[in-house]
Structure 1
């Protein structure tokens, strides 16, 4: 894995919306709040499964045409809104000439299912003596063709292109957390190599979905208990608490940013991705290879922003890996960002990079929220932020974010 770039990659715009608010300023305030700090959690709507719901958003601000909003599912509205925030933050929202050559890479899942149909099919399967034949018949007769059109993952990129006039090249990645990692990795590589001068990259997730909660429950991934910070949750029964979020970044070459007088937020030094079968220790070995490739770029005090899901076995292994890094490889501290914003699958890695850019720019991480001892204090400033993302099922990603000019 080669971390050497032919040119630097700057983060010049961030669009972030979650349960904590919208934009980096609101997230900074929420993450740094002192005394009784707790996330926003909806414990009732999908009981027994808690979720982190999206903050109240006026979608008209970024998607002015109601007709555009009506034909989008919630996850598409969230993503299109966050993309607009990123373009605004980068100062190119109305720059049609730049938007026409801005490349776009989106990480997206499938659209929302017809839960009434799914529930009826599952109920009937329990009563059937021939569930296979019943399933084939019901899938053929009950599902509308338009449902599949609404589920197309690349509709998020399409909506961003229509609403915000981003009309450079476009790519959509699927594959849960790993899709978010590879979207950012590919955008970084394109800018670093000179294939792109400017790129919009990110993803979105709607946690208020019965179909996704069912999917994760069938895999025994969800928490059914009251909210706890992730490392404390892992010491108990574990479990994910999903969170609605949209996260987009504008990545840009220094030359292009300078030509339009942009003020960069941070520098994205490296992005790596890998995957394994998740036998015990394999994810650690994968992450260790990534860290060894990035290590020559690390100097000074470093914060680790972890995307740990809270799912028991894999998050416990990630905790041990991070503990080892802090004990022997890194002078710094760690934060489980999902404790406060929840887990957003395809959007999680872009959200981590966005918050890492904020911390790198500020020179400090947000205060710890953990009683296990892994997250330590913030008295000393930081020089860089290492992002670590292990998917709940597959995929390991890592990135390094530094202040501009360092």
Structure 2
């Protein structure tokens, strides 16, 4: 088996597309949530909150031909991949186009404007909004396919369309592909574009925040006074390589991936199950050959929903006890769905390497039903750890856990 390292990282979020900018926002306690007055027309939608990327446009060097097949979600994924490849020193390198590099990437759904175009055909019998690329922009594996085609990659494509675990499954499955010698390099992550339809999904479950006039006060993961999640958008991608491949080309190494666990609850489509969440974390620890005491920090899923917060923290306490430090970056960026696992993996590595860990914003009083843990609040924390865990949990009872090791 091969050791797997991270040699490139890239992302785009509502708080920026580089770590110094994002870290500065974390340290200043700024969140990206705003009131979406354009959603007022959806009169039965309760929430008006989201964390959009307000300034993103496709880079000017992208061609019209390249853009034809990409909706916004694919553009976010490709842009994050481009940043990650440049960070890894591989952008424009012909070696990535010989089959050595593959893609593992996903999103909750393709671009919804194209979904609407097909709906218009079914409902009204008109096809004037459809063209040869409509399905390509809509299809569940649009992010993975577009990343592969944009960079002329000929390795395996692993689509991970699993809602909130799309990004973390992408990284985990890419890790396994390299570990078992099937690929030397992988681009791995996920993306999501903002759409009120996704807010409506959670609205129907009474799971969205309705602090519509005070967006800076929400979401509130793990807090007794939380009132639900906020939808965001973004994209995150990592470049993974076998250690020997990275060392042979003299690559800078950000971190090592040492463990991955993934399973399913097998009980309920939307109600999380603490027992199987715990097993996913234990699987990651076993995969890494580590005891629970080795982990210094857990990057929690932290959606700010009652069932989710309680289940994941009880599971985390069951593995680590009350000593474990935990926080959630969804308090700043909202829930970026298919992107969250990739963005939070990126943040976990950056925090490992900077010896500073971001607190959970708006966490004032921990819900007494949550598991007893060391909830990170206030100004964050300066600490040095060798290992960090990043966890994500999705509809369908999908659980993922990744463990990153700080590179010496």
TM-score (norm 1): 0.83
Say yes or no: does 1:186 pair with 2:185.
no
Q: 1:43 to 1:372 in 2, by over 3 A?
A: same
Q: 1:392 to 1:173 in 2, by over 3 A?
A: closer
1:381 corresponds to which residue?
384
Q: 2-side partners of 1:210 and 1:287: how far apart?
A: 29
Q: 1:294 to 1:213 in 2, by over 3 A?
A: closer
Q: 1:316 to 1:166 in 2, by over 3 A?
A: same
2:261 corresponds to which residue?
272
- Cα pair 1:234 1:311 within 8 Å, conserved: no
- Cα pair 1:178 1:273 within 8 Å, conserved: no
Q: 1:282 to 1:212 in 2, by over 3 A?
A: closer
Say yes or no: does 1:347 pair with 2:339.
yes
Q: 1-side partners of 2:383 and 2:87: how far apart?
A: 29
1:206 corresponds to which residue?
193
Count, aligned residues: 377
Secondary structure of 2:6 counterpart: strand
2:111 corresponds to which residue?
111
1:303 corresponds to which residue?
297
2:239 corresponds to which residue?
250
Q: 2-side partners of 1:243 and 1:279: how far apart?
A: 22
- C-alpha offsets along residues 158-190 of structure 1, whole Å, 9 cap, x if unaligned? 332333233322222222123333222211111
- Cα pair 1:308 1:336 within 8 Å, conserved: yes
Q: 2-side partners of 1:46 and 1:197: how far apart?
A: 45
1:18 corresponds to which residue?
13
Q: 2-side partners of 1:98 and 1:116: how far apart?
A: 36
- Cα pair 2:6 2:254 within 8 Å, conserved: yes
2:141 corresponds to which residue?
154
Q: 1-side partners of 2:229 and 2:63: how far apart?
A: 35
- Range that drifts further, 65-74 or 89-98: 65-74
Say yes or no: does 1:74 pair with 2:75.
no
1:126 corresponds to which residue?
none
Tell me by how many angstroms 1:324 deviates: 4.9
Q: 1:117 to 1:8 in 2, by over 3 A?
A: closer
Q: 1:149 to 1:383 in 2, by over 3 A?
A: closer
Q: 1-side partners of 2:173 and 2:63: how far apart?
A: 31
- Cα pair 2:218 2:230 within 8 Å, conserved: no
Say yes or no: does 1:88 pair with 2:86.
yes
Q: 2-side partners of 1:282 and 1:173: how far apart?
A: 20
Matches within 5 A, 1:387-398: 387-392=390-395, 394-398=397-401
Q: Quick one: which of 191, 204, 207 aligns to 1:218? A: 204
- Cα pair 2:84 2:239 within 8 Å, conserved: yes
Tell me by how many angstroms 1:53 deviates: 0.9
Q: Quick one: which of 310, 315, 329 aligns to 1:316? A: 310
Secondary structure of 1:287 counterpart: helix
Give 5+ residue unaligned stretches, structure 2.
41-46, 367-374
Q: 2-side partners of 1:365 and 1:160: how far apart?
A: 31
Q: 1:281 to 1:81 in 2, by over 3 A?
A: closer
Q: Quick one: which of 287, 293, 299 aligns to 2:277? A: 287
TM-score (norm 2): 0.83
Q: Which has the higher helix share?
A: 1
1:260 corresponds to which residue?
249
Q: 2-side partners of 1:22 and 1:58: how far apart?
A: 13
Q: 1-side partners of 2:386 and 2:403: how far apart?
A: 11
Tell me by how many angstroms 1:116 deviates: 7.2
Give 5+ residue unaligned stretches, structure 1.
1-5, 122-136
2:355 corresponds to which residue?
363
- Range that drifts further, 42-51 or 241-250: 42-51
Say yes or no: does 1:402 pair with 2:397.
no
Q: 2-side partners of 1:12 and 1:341: how far apart?
A: 25
- Cα pair 2:118 2:130 within 8 Å, conserved: no
Q: 2-side partners of 1:149 and 1:159: how far apart?
A: 9
- C-alpha offsets along residues 52-83 of structure 1, whole Å, 9 cap, x if unaligned? 1115235216x522443355211111111111
Q: 2-side partners of 1:308 and 1:368: how far apart?
A: 9
1:133 corresponds to which residue?
none
2:370 corresponds to which residue?
none
1:50 corresponds to which residue?
49
